[in-house]
Amino acid sequence: MSSKQLIAVVCCQKQVAGYDVQSVNEFYLNAIRDFGGLPVLIPAGSDEADLDQLLATVDGVLLPGSHSNVAPEHYGADHEEPKQDPGRDQLALYVIRQCAVLGIPVLGICRGFQEMNVALGGTLHPQVHCKTNALDHREPNDPDFSVKYAVSHALEVIPGGNFANWLGETRSVSVNSLHGQGVETLAPALKIEAVAPDGLIEAFSLSNHPYFIGVQWHPEWFATELFMSKLLFSHFIQAAQALKELRNGKTANRRQGCEASQVT
């Protein structure tokens, strides 16, 4: 039996050459594999009973980025949003809420970060670059991925959080930036881990949870080489391993209890 941690990855629904497809960027799957996990895809369109069965078996969930955006109706807004993916919204928002309650490790990236905020009651700004004194956080219009994912700005790490604990005395890290939307109002249960120079929230966590972390940038790019990416993914997989061991321990205890009752 494989000892790898099973990491469920939320899929997007897209049309490719007229076909309806479920999709995940390979960067995310490679990052999971590189840190010792085994990615498994969760297709949009799964019903809640099936998702509950799946969540009872996986050790963590990754919410990848996407060029689509969370539908405004999910956070009480009514602006037009041409880049929607209703199937992904339905899937991701349910999975996030279940993971928050069940203590399943979750790492959300870009759209996943925004989904986590919305799922727990936060709101989004549809065009961050239009805000007063805001940076332009949008994806560079360049086909070269080394340009697209190049370092864009620094982050200020907030004292007292997971990042501060991981980084020690380091209080600033540099990240890429490929997003148009961002957090407007933070969900009440979440706490800020890091902010951009313009004050935009770039990372948050959920208190009293083994690992519930969202980041606005893309750590999956060169994940094994960039310091902050290594911290995010290694701690994520460690949390997944801890859940795996906890579940295995409970299963072993139940078996021993059954065997003892049979002998008696």
When pLDDT is cut at 50, 70 and 90, the band that residue 246 belongs to is very high
- For 128-257, strand residue ranges (E) read 153-157, 172-175, 182-185, 190-195, 201-206, 212-215
User: What pLDDT does 253 receive?
Assistant: 64
User: What pLDDT does 254 receive?
Assistant: 62
pTM, two decimals, is 0.93
pLDDT in tens, 70-92: 999 999 999 999 999 999 999 99
Using CA atoms, how far apart are residues 194 and 185, in angstroms rounded to an integer?
15
When pLDDT is cut at 50, 70 and 90, the band that residue 250 belongs to is confident
User: What pLDDT does 89 receive?
Assistant: 98
Q: Dig out the tokens for 183 from the structure.
A: 């957090």
Is the Cα torsion angle 178, 129, 16, 77 positive or negative in sign? positive
Which SS3 state, helix, strand or coil, does residue 106 take? strand
Mean pLDDT of 216-243: 98
Q: Dig out the tokens for 193 from the structure.
A: 């881990």
- DSSP letter string over the chain? ---SEEEEEEPEEEEETTEEEEE--HHHHHHHHHTTEEEEEE-TT--HHHHHHHHTT-SEEEE---SSB--GGGGT-----SSB-HHHHHHHHHHHHHHHHHT--EEEETHHHHHHHHHTT-EEES-GGGSTT----SPPS-S-HHHHTS--EEEEEPTTSHHHHHHTT--EEEE----S-EEEE--TTEEEEEE-TTS-EEEEEETTSSSEEEESS-TTTTTTTSHHHHHHHHHHHHHHHHHHHHHHHHHHHHHHHHHHHHH-
Please report, as a single letter, which amino acid is at residue 99.
C
When pLDDT is cut at 50, 70 and 90, the band that residue 3 belongs to is confident
Strand partners, 41: 9
Mean pLDDT of 129-133: 89
Query: Per the CATH hierarchy, to which homologous superfamily does domain 5-135+179-263 belong?
Result: Class I glutamine amidotransferase (GATase) domain (3.40.50.880)
Using CA atoms, how far apart are residues 148 and 176, in angstroms rounded to an integer?
8
pLDDT at 263 over 70: no
Which residue, 144, 181, 173, 135, is CA-closest to 157? 173
Sequence-distant (6+) residues with CB within 8 A of 226 are: 219
pLDDT in tens, 160-196: 999 999 999 999 999 999 999 999 999 999 999 999 9
User: What pLDDT does 241 receive?
Assistant: 98
Residues in the chain, overall count: 264
For tokens 């065997």, what's the residue?
259
Beta strand 212-215 with 106-109 is parallel
pLDDT at 257 over 80: no
Residue ranges per domain, the chain?
5-135+179-263
Which SS3 state, helix, strand or coil, does residue 190 take? strand
Q: Dig out the tokens for 142 from the structure.
A: 């360049």
Q: Which residues are catalytic?
A: 110, 218, 220
pLDDT at 139 over 60: yes
User: What pLDDT does 67 receive?
Assistant: 94
When pLDDT is cut at 50, 70 and 90, the band that residue 7 belongs to is very high
pLDDT at 224 over 70: yes
Average pLDDT over the chain, rounded to an integer:
94
